[in-house]
A = this chain, B = another copy of it.
Amino acid sequence: MEMQYKERSYGHMENGGGARRTRTDLMVRFLALGLTLAAAVVLGLNKQTTTVNVTIAPTLPPVSLPVTAKWLHMSAMVYFVIVNAIVCSYTTVSLILTLVTKNGNKNVSLMIAILDLVMVALLFSAIGATGAVGLIGYKGNSHVQWGKVCDVFDKFCHRVAVSMVLSFLGSMAYVLLAVLATFNAYTKF
């Protein structure tokens, strides 16, 4: 009887709700791929050079010096770009696996579901890190005397914000994938 039940379940998966679920999974996964790729590229190519006035001696007029803001200058942003690149690469592999197996292989589906969860954790830690540093860059912190820098590097900060929104949407796509996987697994009780 159990065998018959299993066969019926898989049959249902392939032809009815399962196929629809696979399509939804693929669409959300494509979306996550595009969003995390865009987030990594936007921040990875982010660079702004501007001039600041520096006073060398009180008797001399201030000197204009060029300064450059790069994502490589801040550990949180390096972590953000690496995480989004990892998630983007994993999404490509998971897309291929989903397309090849069409969710018919239980072990592959389970592995993907667990790795999706790891991606959620990685993405949220990267967003938290960049968000915290970005907020100090935008507002500064007088308690530790960390001055704001977004008034000088306005375009750079704007692109960081865009990149964070893209990555947040990508992470929400992964949350949706994990919720869908949990929901689908539970409705098979």
Q: Which residues of A contact B (CB under 8 A)?
A: 1-2, 4-6, 9, 69, 73-76, 79, 106, 109-110, 113-114, 117-118, 120-122, 124-133, 135-137, 141, 143-147, 149, 171, 175, 178-179, 181-183, 185-186, 188-189
The answer to whether A132 and B75 touch (CB under 8 A), given A113-B186, A120-B120, A189-B188, is yes
Cross-chain contact A179 with B131 (CB below 8 angstroms): no
* Shortest Cβ distance from residue A49 to the other chain B in the assembled complex, whole angstroms: 13
Cross-chain contact A186 with B106 (CB below 8 angstroms): yes
Among B133, B179, B186, point to the contact of A132 (Cβ < 8 A).
B133
List the 9 closest pairs (A to B, CB-CB), nearest first.
A128-B128, A185-B185, A125-B128, A129-B132, A73-B143, A128-B129, A76-B132, A146-B146, A124-B124
- Inter-chain CA distance A76–B75, complex, in Å, is 16
